């Protein structure tokens, strides 16, 4: 493992690794499944649209009530001081993860490289989403590629999948897009954004999320979480590399 900063080192105690692909893991969003390759939500999205994300990669699990889930909520909704600390922490996480694993995402999405980086915009009327700021100015590797490619269209209910909830306001035709979001809960927002980008002509779309929201409400989910927690977070591995679907540094 390459030397990493104290901040990244300390996050190893906060981040829970996403389990490898295989039986019991949704082939799209990496949550636990009982018998089917995909979870209920991902299967529903596939029934509703043909053009979805080519790959979804969560950096870590954000377990309900856990520290990472609390931080993901605070960074958007907390007071200014808390937001600034978490903002810097998340920028560091994203920058380092991309340095180590962007090639894994591109490979799994069958893209040579991502020419465009975009963020899933907030649908709650926030004018300047912190993720936009992070990707357009704080993170060196995304700064020149970031395009505010999506704008929310008001009037859609939360957690409903529809490409119409986003307007594409950039030329993405034949371009590979890395779409970043902070949290994946049902995936409806991110997949709506992917479908909108694909309808606008985007070639391949890879989704990167900081946290995959996880609520261990069933025995299967608790087993899955126990398996995930049994390994310490490793900055040199991502779920794609573990699964053989991509490659790791
Ligand atoms: Zn799923
Ligand atoms: Zn990787």
Q: Residues 24-48: pLDDT tens digits?
A: 999 999 999 998 999 999 999 999 9
Backbone angles phi, psi at 106, to 5 degrees: -60, -45
Residue 83: its pLDDT value, please? 86
Cα(26) to centroid(ligand 1), Å: 5
Ligand of minimum distance to the alpha carbon of 20: 2
**Cα 24 to middle of ligand 1, angstroms:** 11
Q: What is the CA radius of gyration of the chain?
A: 17
Nearest 5°: the CA angle 26, 12, 34 is: 15
CA of 29 to the centre of ligand 1 (A): 4
| Nearest ligand, CA 248 | 2
pTM: 0.95
Three-state SS at 152: strand
Task: Check residue 127 and give its pLDDT.
Answer: 53
Residues of the chain with pLDDT under 70: 1-3, 124-128, 242-246, 249
Cα–ligand 1 centroid distance for 146 (angstroms):
27
| Structure-block tokens of residue 9 | 């080192």
CA of 2 to the centre of ligand 1 (A): 32
Helix or strand holding residue 216 (H, E)? none
The distance of Cα 214 from the centroid of its chain, to the nearest Å, equals 13
With beta carbons less than 8 A apart as the criterion, state whether 200 and 51 touch: no
Q: Report how far ligand 2's centroid is from the alpha carbon of 125 (Å).
A: 34
pLDDT of residue 195: 97
**d(Cα 233, Cα 217) in Å, to the nearest integer?**
23
CA of 89 to the centre of ligand 2 (A): 20
Burial state string for 151-183 with b = 16 or more CB within 10 A and e = fewer than 16: ebeeebeeeebbbebbebebebeebbbbbbbbb
Burial code of 14-37, b = ≥16 C-beta within 10 A, e = fewer? Answer: bbbbbbbbeeebbbbbbbbbeeee
| Helix, strand and coil in the chain, % to nearest 5 | 40, 15, 45
Ligand nearest 39 Cα, by number? Answer: 1
pLDDT of residue 82: 84
> Ligand 2 centre from 134 Cα, in Å?
22
Q: Which pLDDT belongs to residue 145?
A: 98
Cβ burial 63-76 (10 Å sphere, 16+ → b, else e): beebebbebbeebb
């Amino acid at each position: 493992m390459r030397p990493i900063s104290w901040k990244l080192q300390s996050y190893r105690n906060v981040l829970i690794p996403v389990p490898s692909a295989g039986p019991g893991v949704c082939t799209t969003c990496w949550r636990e499944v009982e018998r089917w390759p995909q979870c209920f939500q991902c299967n529903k999205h596939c029934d509703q649209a043909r053009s979805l994300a080519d790959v979804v990669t969560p950096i870590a699990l954000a377990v309900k009530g856990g520290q990472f889930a609390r931080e993901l909520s605070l960074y958007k909704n907390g007071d200014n001081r808390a937001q600034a600390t978490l903002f810097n922490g998340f920028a560091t996480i994203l920058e380092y993860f991309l340095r180590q694993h962007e090639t894994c995402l591109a490979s799994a999405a069958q893209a040579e490289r991502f020419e465009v980086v975009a963020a899933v915009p907030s649908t709650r009327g926030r004018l300047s989403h912190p993720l936009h700021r992070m990707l357009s100015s704080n993170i060196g590797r995304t700064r020149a590629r970031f395009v505010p490619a999506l704008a929310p269209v008001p009037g859609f209910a939360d957690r409903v999948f529809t490409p119409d909830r986003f307007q594409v306001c950039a030329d993405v035709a034949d371009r590979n897009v890395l779409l970043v979001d902070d949290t994946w809960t049902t995936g409806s927002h991110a997949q709506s954004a992917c479908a909108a980008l694909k309808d606008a002509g985007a070639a391949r779309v890879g989704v990167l999320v900081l946290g995959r929201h996880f609520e261990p409400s069933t025995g299967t989910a608790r087993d899955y979480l126990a398996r995930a927690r049994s390994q310490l977070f490793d900055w040199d591995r991502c779920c794609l590399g573990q699964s053989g679907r991509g490659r790791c540094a």
